[in-house]
């Protein structure tokens, strides 16, 4: 070949390579490669065969014309396939399951005589009008052969030349490079998708479904997901998790060629069978030839019935702790190259990481729930302490008078002492004493501990205190220009915190995926009176109609098992009453509740 011709060949090959690398799918690359091959070699038919899950090479693309010059469509002889070594097409690919095996090119310029048992030979002869010559070159990658690139019937009188074989092999190399790149890219897409699931756990909602993750991974590994087609050549995948030292199946997936009938899907004990030993030792197992180790398997009959040939089981492990296993099967001898092992180990590790992250998240959520209940108890207790301290002070201050009061009652009950007029006089004196003491208690409880308060800041502080570590959406809207008012900051903050805590509990009970609390401050006018209004709305379980007023009664609670005292809303309303304010709610069962806090503005403005 002249130097100029060589340069032209190389330029053309470079163009073909660039064209293939721009393809979006293997199917697209196959069609473009076939067009290039037919154009360059001037042949009647070009075809590409790729290994399928059954361990045979199947035709995935054909470009050519029949004896009448009509295009040959993909539907013609659509089930064309060959076992390795079978017929003319199969001889170009090696047997599967070998550590190091690459296909070799085959060609013939007298194909029907040299391959008398050529499968589908008669079909091709009738379709093409003649079958004289052919070339079949392997699509060899670094570790394995993907399939073959084949041409039939050169229009040159002497058939194919060595240059034709070399050029076809170079095109095959370019196509192989694309397929390898595409498969690596698809594997990385799957890994990235699982990583995205893991990252999403940082803001996970409480109904994150691990079963969906397991099923997605199992489906992806057997190639039945349209977004991840044919990533690996596995026919079945099983994911198991440890539950009290027994491994239980959490997800399984298999192709149409597999029947699950007759399989025993019971639990596996740690240390028993292959799966149990992988779990116990935390070491993966790769078996190329199941038949030679069939006694190690529990489902021998199922394996034989489905003609399964290779198997792998990997631990789902975080550091030295194994959480479960993931197993895969093939229907033909499959050698697990280092790249395959690395990919499966990456999938197993990411799956284990998601399992562990969900476990930690659930533990944190439990702790947060407990902390929330304790925080609520503290809020209620802080109000009750005020009452208790006043009552304690009252008893200490008036201890002697109470003793005297008790003795007076004894005298009044003694029929032999004093006449009725004296008794009535004593009774009136004691009634006046009770009235005076009650007035003193009310005065002490309402004693002025007011300070200038910016209501927006007070509400924001309450939101941070109650909601800052919760996995819900918080929408805050604060009206500008709300004047500073003179109130008891601690009491009003306790009102806000109590309502926020109740909203959080309502969302927790609803088990909704997207919990939300909305907080709004504004100034409204009711009956010509300006009120500062704080509304707190949740999308929780809601309050039944029959409980709308009961919730403000002392000791009424629907959360006794969670530490509810039934005093929170009662005290909250009493505090607001002392300020001439209001507390009421609007609620729909299953939709949520909205509480309104209203404080007269003008009365407490500075």
pLDDT one-digit tens code per residue, 300-347? 999 999 999 999 999 999 888 999 999 999 999 998 988 889 999 999
User: Of the candidates 399, 488, 400, 412, which has an alpha carbon nearest to the alpha carbon of residue 450?
Assistant: 488
Task: Count the Cβ atoms, other than its own, within 10 Å of residue 294.
Answer: 13
What lies within 8 Å, CB to CB, of 101 at 6+ separation is 94, 95, 145
pLDDT score, position 385:
46
pLDDT score, position 223:
86
pTM, whole model, 2 decimals?
Answer: 0.64
Residues facing residue 316 across a β-bridge: 324
pLDDT one-digit tens code per residue, 545-559? 888 888 888 767 766
pLDDT at 389 over 50: no
pLDDT score, position 275:
93
- Residue 29 confidence class, pLDDT cut points 50, 70, 90: very high
Helix %, strand %, coil % for the chain, to 5? 45, 20, 30
d(CA 308, CA 303): 5
DSSP-assigned letter for residue 131: -
b or e along 523-557 (b: 16 or more beta carbons within 10 Å of the residue's beta carbon)?
eeeeeeebbbbbbbbbbbbbbeeeeeeebbeeeeb
Task: Count the Cβ atoms, other than its own, within 10 Å of residue 242.
Answer: 18
d(CA 260, CA 263): 6
- Residue 444 confidence class, pLDDT cut points 50, 70, 90: low
d(CA 62, CA 243): 51
d(CA 581, CA 600): 6
pLDDT one-digit tens code per residue, 217-238? 999 999 888 887 777 779 999 9
pLDDT one-digit tens code per residue, 259-302? 999 898 889 888 888 999 999 999 999 999 999 999 999 899 99
Specify the higher pLDDT residue, 97 or 436.
Answer: 97
b or e along 422-456 (b: 16 or more beta carbons within 10 Å of the residue's beta carbon)?
ebeeeeeebeebeeebeeeeeeeeeeeeeeebebb
pLDDT score, position 240:
95
Q: What mean pLDDT is reported for the chain?
A: 84
Task: Count the Cβ atoms, other than its own, within 10 Å of residue 360.
Answer: 11
Q: Which two tokens stand for residue 373?
A: 């209940």
What does each C-alpha distance from 317 to 278, 328, 385 come to in angstroms?
11, 17, 51
Q: Is 198 left (phi over 0), alpha (psi -120 to 50) or beta?
A: alpha
Per-residue pLDDT, averaged over 66-89, amounts to 94
pLDDT score, position 245:
76
Lowest mean pLDDT among 129-138, 173-182, 358-367, 554-563: 554-563
Specify the higher pLDDT residue, 491 or 459.
Answer: 459
pLDDT at 377 over 50: yes
Per-residue pLDDT, averaged over 155-164, amounts to 92
Residues facing residue 530 across a β-bridge: 525
Q: Are 179 and 26 in contact (CB under 8 A)?
A: yes
pLDDT score, position 271:
87
Q: What angle do CA 183, 185, 149 make, to 5 degrees?
A: 30
Describe the crossing of helices 162-200 and 338-397 by its angle, rounded to 10 degrees. 10
Per-residue pLDDT, averaged over 495-517, amounts to 87
User: Of the candidates 216, 248, 220, which has an alpha carbon nearest to the alpha carbon of residue 234?
Assistant: 220
- At 468 the three-state DSSP class reads coil
What lies within 8 Å, CB to CB, of 468 at 6+ separation is none
pLDDT score, position 143:
82
pLDDT one-digit tens code per residue, 40-74? 899 999 999 999 888 899 999 999 999 999 999 99
Is the sign of the CA dihedral 426, 432, 435, 438 positive or negative? negative
Specify the higher pLDDT residue, 255 or 244.
Answer: 255
What lies within 8 Å, CB to CB, of 548 at 6+ separation is 585, 587
Specify the higher pLDDT residue, 9 or 278.
Answer: 278
Specify the higher pLDDT residue, 90 or 434.
Answer: 90
b or e along 247-260 (b: 16 or more beta carbons within 10 Å of the residue's beta carbon)?
bebbbbbbbeebee
């Amino acid at each position: 070949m002249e130097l100029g011709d060589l340069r032209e060949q190389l330029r053309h090959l470079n163009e073909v390579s660039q064209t293939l690398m721009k393809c979006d799918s293997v199917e697209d690359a196959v069609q473009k490669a076939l067009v290039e091959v037919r154009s360059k070699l001037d042949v009647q038919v070009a075809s590409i065969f790729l290994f399928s899950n059954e361990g045979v090479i199947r035709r995935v693309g054909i470009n050519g014309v029949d004896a009448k010059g009509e295009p040959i469509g993909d539907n013609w002889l659509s089930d064309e396939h060959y076992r390795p070594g079978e017929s003319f097409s199969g001889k170009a690919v090696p047997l599967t399951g070998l550590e190091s095996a690459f296909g070799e090119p085959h060609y013939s310029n007298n194909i029907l005589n040299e391959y008398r048992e050529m499968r589908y030979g008669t079909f091709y002869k009738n379709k093409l009008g003649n079958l004289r010559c052919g070339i079949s070159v392997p699509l060899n990658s670094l570790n394995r052969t993907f399939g073959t690139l084949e041409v039939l019937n050169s229009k040159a009188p002497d058939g194919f030349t060595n240059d034709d074989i070399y050029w076809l092999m170079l095109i095959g190399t370019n196509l192989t490079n694309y397929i390898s790149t595409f498969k690596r890219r698809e594997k990385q897409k799957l890994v990235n998708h699982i990583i995205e699931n893991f990252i999403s756990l940082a803001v996970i909602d409480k109904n994150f479904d691990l079963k969906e993750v397991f099923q997605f991974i199992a489906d992806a590994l057997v190639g039945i997901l349209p977004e991840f087609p044919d990533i690996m050549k596995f026919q079945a995948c099983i994911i198991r998790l440890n539950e009290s030292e027994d491994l239980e199946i959490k997800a399984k997936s298999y192709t149409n060629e597999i029947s699950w009938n007759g399989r025993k899907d019971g639990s596996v004990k740690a240390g028993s069978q292959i799966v149990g030993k992988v779990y116990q030792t935390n070491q993966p197992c790769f078996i190329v030839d199941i038949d030679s180790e069939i006694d190690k398997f529990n489902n021998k009959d199922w394996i034989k019935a489905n003609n399964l040939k290779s198997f792998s089981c990997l631990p789902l492990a975080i550091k030295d702790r194994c959480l479960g296993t993931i197993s895969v099967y093939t229907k033909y001898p499959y050698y697990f190259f280092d790249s395959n092992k690395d990919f499966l180990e990456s999938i197993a590790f990411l799956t284990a990481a998601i399992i562990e992250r969900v476990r930690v998240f659930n533990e944190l959520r439990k702790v947060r729930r407990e902390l929330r209940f304790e925080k609520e108890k503290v809020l209620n207790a802080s109000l009750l302490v005020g009452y208790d301290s006043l009552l304690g002070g009252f008893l200490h201050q008036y201890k002697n008078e109470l003793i005297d009061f008790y003795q007076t009652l004894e005298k009044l009950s003694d029929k032999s002492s004093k006449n009725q007029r004296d008794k009535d006089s004593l009774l009136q004196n004691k009634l006046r004493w009770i009235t005076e003491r009650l007035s003193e208690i009310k005065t002490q409880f309402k004693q002025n501990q007011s300070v200038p308060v910016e209501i927006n800041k007070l509400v924001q502080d309450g939101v941070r205190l109650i909601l800052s570590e919760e996995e819900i959406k918080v929408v805050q809207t604060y009206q500008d220009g709300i004047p500073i008012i003179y109130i008891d900051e601690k009491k009003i903050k306790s009102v806000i915190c109590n309502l926020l805590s109740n909203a959080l509990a309502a969302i927790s009970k609803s088990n909704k995926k997207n919990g939300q609390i909305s907080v709004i401050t504004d100034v409204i006018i009711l009956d010509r009176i300006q009120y500062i209004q704080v509304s707190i709305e949740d999308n929780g379980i809601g309050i039944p109609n029959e409980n709308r007023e009961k919730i403000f009664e002392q000791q009424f609670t629907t959360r006794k098992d969670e530490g509810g005292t039934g005093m929170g809303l009662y005290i909250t309303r009493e505090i607001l009453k002392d300020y001439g304010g209001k507390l009421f709610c609007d609620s729909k069962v299953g939709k949520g509740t909205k509480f309104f806090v209203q404080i007269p503005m003008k009365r407490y403005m500075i």
